[in-house]
Amino acid sequence: AQSVTQLGSHVSVSEGALVLLRCNYSSSVPPYLFWYVQYPNQGLQLLLKYTTGATLVKGINGFEAEFKKSETSFHLTKPSAHMSDAAEYFCAVSDRATNAGKSTFGDGTTLTVKP
């Protein structure tokens, strides 16, 4: 069975500082990996995903993530935080071996951006 762990339920950074949100997964084979963002009173929105190929994935709003198989990680980064980045971020994994539409989501990390 696959699982995903997001280290740190709350992360606070200053505007202009580096954003680093951590995600580690557990799976028998490397899964498909996703980062979603949820703004207040909205549904989740895809930031980026890794399926195959280049391990450094660029997403929307200046975010990127790197798949590191040896570390079973898929951490999300952004060089310079903006006030509008304040939201909840979810890492998710999907099994490569089955086509069941069952993604496993992490518990989420709330990002606060201080002026």
Partner 1 sequence: ETGVTQTPRHLVMGMTNKKSLKCEQHLGHNAMYWYKQSAKKPLELMFVYNFKEQTENNSVPSRFSPECPNSSHLFLHLHTLQPEDSALYLCASSLGLAGYNEQFFGPGTRLTVL
- State the DSSP string of 80-99: S--GGG-EEEEEEEE-SS--
Residue number with CB closer to partner 1 (42 or 112): 42
Quickly tell me which residue has 């939201």 as its tokens. 87
Residue number with CB closer to partner 1 (17 or 96): 96
Alpha carbons 103 and 92: distance in angstroms, whole number: 6
**Nearest approach, Cβ of 94 to partner 1 (angstroms)?**
3
Q: Which residues bind partner 1 (CB under 8 A)?
A: 31-32, 34, 36, 41-46, 49, 51, 90, 94-96, 98-103, 105-108
